[in-house]
Amino acid sequence: MEVSKEEFLRQFGGDYGYPGAPKGVDEMRAAEFKRLEGMAYLDHAGATLYSEAQMADVLKDLASNVYGNPHSQSDSSMAASDLVTAARHQVLKYFNASPREYKCIFTSGATAALKLVGECFPWSRESCYMYTMENHNSVLGIREYALSKGATVLAVDVEEGADLAKDNGSYSLYKISRRTNQRRSKDVLSHNCQNGSLSDISGNNWNIFAFPSECNFSGQKFSLSLVKLIKEGKIPLQQQGKWMVLIDAAKGCATEPPNLTVYPADFVVCSFYKIFGYPTGLGALIVKNEAANLLNKTYFSGGTVAASIADIDFVQKRKNIEQVLEDGTISFLNIASLRHGFKIIEMLTTSAIERHTTSLATYVRNKMLDLKHSNEINVCTIYGQQYSKVEGLKMGPTITFNLKREDGSWFGYREVEKLASLFGIHLRTGCFCNPGACAKYLGLSHSDLVSNFEAGHVCWDDNDIINGKPTGAVRISFGYMSTFEDAEKFLKFLQSSFVSLPVQFNNGYMLNLNSLNLIDNSSQKAVSDIHLKSIIIYPVKSCQGFSVKSWPLTTGGLMYDREWLLQGSGGEILTQKKVPELGSIRTLIDLELGKLFIESPTRRDKLQLSLLESLADLSEEVDVFGQRYEVQSYDDRVNTWFSEAIGRKGDCKQKLPVDAMRFRPNLVISGSSPYSEDNWKKLRIGEACFTSMGGCNRCQMINLHQDSGQVLKSKEPLATLASYRRKKGKILFGILLNYEDIMEGENETIAGRWLQVGQQVYPSTE
């Protein structure tokens, strides 16, 4: 595992780091990406990063020039028009597409470009829309247009042959496996579909075959020779008519853009933030002239028409295909900034970027496959190349995987994501909007997918394991500024968090033998001096609490504890995780006065709320973490006070002290052995009885520290706890107690039932 950078360079030095460029990757990273210090950004498939020099050039350009709406003849408009024209040519050059054969249509992104094709393509009931299973949802979405016109839709698996490296354009190198035909129109005759395949239909119908240049799930690269084979009819698709080919290059074009002179696809889509980080919200449809002439756009807008009359049905669209297909004023300032991004790519060259990122991905992929538990069970299951029967299958700089425990069960991908954030590692989890590839590699059947949905699983939720199977995966991906240090940081994270030798105690924790002073829980005996050390009340959720020597109990537990919470303007519940500044707001309750006092370092005045005041006239229903509750709200005076009390947070890299208050406890107990509470089932404090509801799952809120009115954020203590207090994806510390009201028929405070500091605590493990 411990391989030095020198050894890595001996293996990959010819490809890593841009040895022939004006700046090497280390120099570029230090000068242009200072914001990445201490972290590893490994989500370039989601969005790569912009450089400081790139943004400085963009700002200088916009500050030095006047660019107006290009739909005019003024000097500023013509300046913008010239830049847009130059940008179109630069995009075509990037894909080696001749301006005589292709047009560049600017859109709001690759998704909008795909939508434009689906919306304007001449679908008929004789048409077929065929796409590979490994396609993004944005490609799948085109089928809605096709199905609505009665066309047939068909997903296929494309299996490349073993001699692909010797590709001579032969159909024998590909095996096309068809899935079920999809048709929606009621007037389509059943004889058009026979035995799960399409019968030949005559006519000059138009069809589309869509595939990604690189799968955004697995990183597998599809051979672009599919373009010619399909267009020339060398792959029998059992559908007559003219076939056009669409390439989703959103992922692949960052390192290997399709060469359209060699592989003349009809439609290619891309998003520029995937290539050089900025601008977002801008993409392009690169379309062949023949295909562009087929696109029929119904809607017209400003800039797309030569003439129109308001009160009669008369409109004459422009002849320029770019102007016809681009709605209204294009994002000309974003388009003007493209040249500053392409400047970086041209300096490094796409071939060097491809070699650089591939070297990192290959190194990490091989090291991951070598990781094993003590019983020789593989830790990592990698999707893509590992699943293919074809040796030497080309892979992009993407690694998608899941992790297994020593007993063969899966770590949930959300557990991996949460732990990665503690290590300063940015990665992505889920299915990445690619349901076909996700189901294929995870082995999820249609019934699995439906039952998962019925069990409540939707995109971006925490249901990462259902019925013992992962519902998604973890993905890392490298970009042009990624370094060996990023790769090594990630590998060390896997080693320390998922491959440590486990010791199974009776409380079920996986512990790291190298970082823990072991305690034999089985030898622990009852200690007579277990007592209540402190009591803390938190009236307002996520605000500071206050300590007391004694406090009354009610049927809900400690009186007034977490009885107030704050709601944002959008209806969301505010916590320190979202608004760390709440941690600087102090609270105090005076039971004799019947008042709640609240103060903030940013406010001179204290807020006073009566505990006895009735707010029945201001009651409403709110959603609190998925549950509906009837609550009482306050007037604008209180709302304004809290709005002004919220300041700004700070980041902290220094070591900060960690005490019990970091965990926002209500009760602190002294005298027992560390973590003995894990085994407690019940406990009695004085005359009050409590039942343990299990361990308390900790989040990053315990990493926030108050210092002189500022909220500082670090990685501790959660990172340390994660190394030895992790159980089934949860980081546990302390336990949750439920107060047992043994006095029957009482609904209010039980007379004389108080907790007091110093009371004896009697735990029970039975």
What SS3 state is found at 387? helix
* Centroid of chain to Cα 402: 16
How would DSSP label each residue in 180-249?
--B---TTS-GGGEETTEEPP--SS-EEEEEEESB-TTT-BBPPTTHHHHHHTT-S--S--SEEEEEEE-
Active-site residue identified among 193, 433, 689, 696: 433
- Residue that has been written with the tokens 């609270």 in this structure: 587
Amino acid at 523: S
Whole-angstrom distance, CA of residue 464 vs CA of residue 457: 8
Amino acid at 181: N
Whole-angstrom distance, CA of residue 234 vs CA of residue 245: 14
Question: In this structure, are residues 475 and 429 in contact, taking their beta carbons and an 8 Å threshold?
Answer: yes
Is 433 noted as a catalytic residue in this protein? yes
Phi (first) and psi of residue 250, to 5 degrees:
-55, -45
Q: Can you read off the two tokens belonging to residue 270? A: 């891309």
For 280, half-sphere exposure in the C-beta direction (CA atoms, 13 angstrom radius) is 5
The residue length of the chain stands at: 766
- Number of Cβ within 10 Å of residue 570's Cβ equals 5
Question: In this structure, are residues 120 and 195 in contact, taking their beta carbons and an 8 Å threshold?
Answer: no
Supply the angle between the helices 52-64 and 25-32 in degrees, to the nearest 10: 50
Whole-angstrom distance, CA of residue 222 vs CA of residue 412: 29
Strands (E) in 613-687, as ranges, are 619-624, 627-632, 649-651, 667-670, 682-685
Q: Can you read off the two tokens belonging to residue 621? A: 């229903």
- Number of Cβ within 10 Å of residue 33's Cβ equals 17
Whole-angstrom distance, CA of residue 31 vs CA of residue 37: 11
For 354, the enclosing helix (H) or strand (E) is helix 350-370
Whole-angstrom distance, CA of residue 537 vs CA of residue 559: 8
Residues whose CB is less than 8 angstroms from the CB of residue 714 and which lie 6 or more positions away in sequence, other chains included: 652, 653, 654, 655, 656, 703, 705
Question: In this structure, are residues 117 and 303 in contact, taking their beta carbons and an 8 Å threshold?
Answer: no
Question: In this structure, are residues 353 and 410 in contact, taking their beta carbons and an 8 Å threshold?
Answer: no
Whole-angstrom distance, CA of residue 47 vs CA of residue 481: 13
For residue 717, give the DSSP letter: T
Question: In this structure, are residues 587 and 597 in contact, taking their beta carbons and an 8 Å threshold?
Answer: yes
Helices assigned H by DSSP within 463-597? 484-498
How would DSSP label each residue in 722-761?
HHHSEETTEEEEEEEEEEE--STT--SPPTT-EEETT-BE
What SS3 state is found at 128? strand
Looking at the DSSP bridge assignments, the partners of residue 157 are 177
Question: In this structure, are residues 129 and 143 in contact, taking their beta carbons and an 8 Å threshold?
Answer: yes
Whole-angstrom distance, CA of residue 77 vs CA of residue 329: 11
Q: How far is CA 365 from CA 370, 398, 492, 734, in A?
A: 9, 9, 14, 38
Whole-angstrom distance, CA of residue 172 vs CA of residue 45: 32
Question: In this structure, are residues 761 and 530 in contact, taking their beta carbons and an 8 Å threshold?
Answer: yes
Q: How far is CA 596 from CA 386, 539, 599, in A?
A: 62, 8, 10
- List residues with catalytic annotation: 433
